[in-house]
Amino acid sequence: MLAVLGISNCFTICFMFLIETVELKAREKSTVVIQAFYGVGAVFNIFLYWLIKDWMTIFLTCYLIPSIIIFVGMSIFLVDTPMSLIERNSSQYALQKLQFMSKINASSAVLTIEDIEEVRDRYKQNKSK
């Protein structure tokens, strides 16, 4: 919903980032869910304009302030995803990111550089099809 409320310029970036974090089997469903939230936000935006009728209040509360918050948040917290690192042949850094994520999620998964390179090879095979 935030994408409609003034953040639509970074909707494409957020959309790609979110979809990249979902495994291939669930990407279609995830895409539909994200687009549904965007549609709900669009309807909410129209209702808000009808309800308030003061464009300056709507601009400040729904566009400017959320845009600044999202910009600062993305600037600080948005990092390269492991898949983007694998695509750029930064396997070691991708492994470090995945190990950090595993630690944060209290997972006992043990990954090696060979696992990362296997993922990279499979990705390249799927991309060439």
Q: Same domain, yes or no, for 63 and 94?
A: no
- Do residues 71 and 78 lie in contact, with contact meaning Cβ atoms separated by under 8 Å? no
Q: Same domain, yes or no, for 12 and 41?
A: yes
Q: Same domain, yes or no, for 56 and 71?
A: yes
Q: Nearest to residue 84, comparing CAs of 75, 76, 93?
A: 93
**Structural domains in the chain (count):** 2
Q: Which long-range contacts (CB under 8 A, 24 or more apart) does 87-92 make?
A: 87/120, 87/123, 89/120, 91/116, 91/117, 91/120
Type of residue numbered 121: D
Q: Same domain, yes or no, for 59 and 108?
A: no
Judge whether 21 lies within some domain. yes
Question: How confident is the prediction along the chain (129 residues), in pLDDT tens digits per residue?
Answer: 454 544 555 566 677 777 777 777 788 888 888 888 878 877 887 787 788 888 777 777 777 777 788 778 777 777 777 888 888 888 888 888 888 878 877 777 788 888 888 888 888 888 777
Give the range of the structural domain holding residue 86, as residue numbers without chain letter: 82-128
Judge whether 1 lies within some domain. no
